[in-house]
Chain A
Amino acid sequence: MPLLSIRGLKIHFRTPQGTGVAVDGVSLDVAAGEVVGLVGESGCGKSVLALSILRLLPVPPALFAGGEIRFEGRDLLRADPRDILALRGNRISMIFQEPMTALNPVFTIGDQLAEVYRVHRGQSRSQALASAARMLGRVGVPAPERRVREYPFQLSGGMRQRVMIAIALACRPALLLADEPTTALDVSIQAQILDLMLSLNAELHTAILLITHDLAVVAEVTRRVAVMYTGRLVEEAPTAALFETPLHPYTRGLLASIPRADASFQTESLNEIPGVVPSAFALPPGCHFAPRCPRAAEICRREAPRLEELLPGHRVACWRPVDG
């Protein structure tokens, strides 16, 4: 049994402009200790998917329209809110894109980190502060004893993200949801933060769902990757296989749009995929990608393809997959 198992998840948003479809029947598994990448263009529903696992979506406007999320066998969407509280920051943690705003500006680093120990481990104030300092040291924050008394504004972006990681991993969670954890950071800091996450993954055996639109990051740190497009999973494969033989035309387009370090004249290929992403409020019938797809046929515009395993461990939702 996988650690996390999402089946047919559907999440809608009820707004004055109508009902938007943010997640449309996604099924995805994460095994214990595994590092899985989730990629896709902005607005395809990656954050909504991750937030829904911790039930952090504002309901309303969000609406769980179907499916289930099982974690260690437990159905999270139907779980008691108190059980969800006990999971958050404890068995499942989340870190966010913006380290600048994710920490509360008016409380010390130590206080914000100690809270986790107090809530989930029942530690006293002083015990929790000592644990906090120790954890800060582990995630590579220098002079942790001094840092616990400092405020977020006194730390750089990279240091804040380390603090976020410390908060997330304080209770040795089984699953870490990392929503674009390095996007807002300098390139040199990005690598450090990814290394830190990977070493903690090895050390604590914490599974990571790494959300990003940076395919280079995915190639570097994940073993398996899932590609989303407008709320649907379109392809899922071992990372190496996906990069070598992408089967979905969308994935191919994504891969072709990676700027290559070795080519200075590649800029025109940045926009490999013509057209625009359809709005969550006006999704086309059939395959959502059909209007932009060079291989689209009649059936693509009529009927949505199901995710099917074409190669071992390699699933794709496409009527006319790209062959080898």
Chain B
Amino acid sequence: MARYILKRLWHTVYVAVGISLISFFFIHLSGDPVLLMLPPDASKEEVETLREQLGFNDPLAVQYLRFAGHALRGDLGVSLVHRVPALDLIFERLPASLELAGAAMLFALAVAVPLGILAAVRRGSLLDLGSMLAALFGLSMPHFWLGIMLVLLFSVHLGWFPTSGRGSFAQLVLPALALGLSLLAMFARLTRSVMLEVLGQDYVRTARAKGLRERLVIGKHALKNALIPLVTVAGMQFGFLIGGTVIIETVFAWPGVGRLVVQAIFSRDYPLVQAAVLVLAVLFVLINLLVDLLYVLLDPQISYGGGS
């Protein structure tokens, strides 16, 4: 098991190299940051000097090797805009992103899994049809619109929650809701379909034939089997959430990584974009590793070598 984890961590290095290569070249295709960094009336000489200073005149390969060399020492460069190490900026924002993603995920799962189970068990009932229809709406609602509606209702009209910012639990509620509702919808539908499939399995019939109460049949025998696909999807979604919540972050002025990255892209802040892409990719891989380790708990047929 320890060996497996080490091996997987080693694979993360490959992923990091691959991702950094791809992002490095794409970012450098996107234009010249020097022009944005200087006032519009800067002279040709000034531009050229800054270019030389930042090393943009070297061949791309050389630039990449220089970047990689620094990266190996934990130095991902200095943000051109903020003039502080890019990594510091990212790690400063990361807790906010994790907090928002975690809250949205928890909320979504806590509601969606019981709802999906109920819908599956009472298949064809009003509850089933109603909740699945609502889920369809939830899936098709744009985040920004939902966020604005939530703010209008709960902040402006009712005054229950603050409109924006981060710090208190109350400030977390609305962005987590706005972000979590579509997840909720997706997980509810997923849970329902997975449960329907599992409930038709022979071992569920065996559990019933043993005289187990329905609560045990569903909550134990069916659910543990259903959790395997759910954990897979939840892990993947969590990875997406960390870097992909720009819109919600913008609506709620949430100081997360997503907004930082988008701003960096607009201002052609190469080092910052590069560093953020790298950190997010590694995080994504680590979350996947965590999910794979969770499988061991859920599925006895999965064991990662030497686990006797």
Contact = CB atoms under 8 A, between A and B. Distances in A.
Interface in B194-211: 201-203, 205-211
Given A104-B207, A106-B225, 6 more contacts: A56-B208, A88-B209, A102-B206, A104-B203, A107-B224, A119-B212
B296 to A, nearest CB: 12
Interface string A90-128: 100110101001111111100000011001100000000
A90 B212 CA distance: 11
B10 to A, nearest CB: 29
Contacts of A119: 210-213
Given A94-B209, A119-B212, A102 B300 contact: no
A80 to B, nearest CB: 14
Interface of B: 201-203, 205-213, 220-221, 224-225, 298-301
A12 B220 CA distance: 31
A104 B299 CA distance: 11
Contacts of B220: 107
Contacts of A32: none
A118 B206 CA distance: 16
Contacts of A106: 224-225, 298-300
Question: SS class of chain B's interface: helix, strand, loop or mixed?
Answer: helix
Contacts of B211: 85-90, 116, 119-120
B203 A105 contact: yes
Contacts of A167: 206, 210
A86 to B, nearest CB: 7
21 contacts: A56-B205, A56-B209, A85-B211, A88-B210, A89-B210, A89-B211, A90-B211, A93-B209, A98-B202, A101-B203, A103-B206, A105-B203, A105-B300, A107-B220, A107-B224, A108-B300, A115-B210, A116-B210, A120-B211, A164-B206, A167-B210
Contact of A89 (B209, B298, B299, B300): B209
A74 to B, nearest CB: 15
Interface string A283-304: 0000000000000000000000
Contacts of B208: 56, 88
Contact of B209 (A54, A105, A151, A153): A54
Contacts of B299: 105-106
Interface of A: 54, 56, 85-90, 93-94, 96, 98, 101-108, 115-116, 119-120, 151, 153, 164, 167
Contacts of A164: 206
Contacts of B213: 85, 119
Contacts of B301: 105, 151, 153
Contact of B225 (A86, A88, A94, A104): A104
Given A98-B202, A101-B202, A102-B203, A107 B209 contact: no
A275 to B, nearest CB: 32
B300 A153 contact: yes
Nearest to A93: B209
Nearest to A101: B202
A94 B202 CA distance: 12
A34 B279 CA distance: 71
A22 B213 CA distance: 27
Given A104-B225, A106-B224, A153-B300, A96 B205 contact: yes
Contacts of B212: 85, 89, 115, 119
Nearest to B201: A101
A69 to B, nearest CB: 16
A278 to B, nearest CB: 27
A84 to B, nearest CB: 8
A119 B202 CA distance: 20
Q: Which 7 A-B pairs have the closest CB atoms?
A: A88-B211, A89-B210, A89-B211, A101-B202, A104-B203, A151-B300, A94-B209
A114 B202 CA distance: 19
A96 B210 contact: no
Nearest to B224: A106
A101 B201 CA distance: 8
A119 B209 CA distance: 12
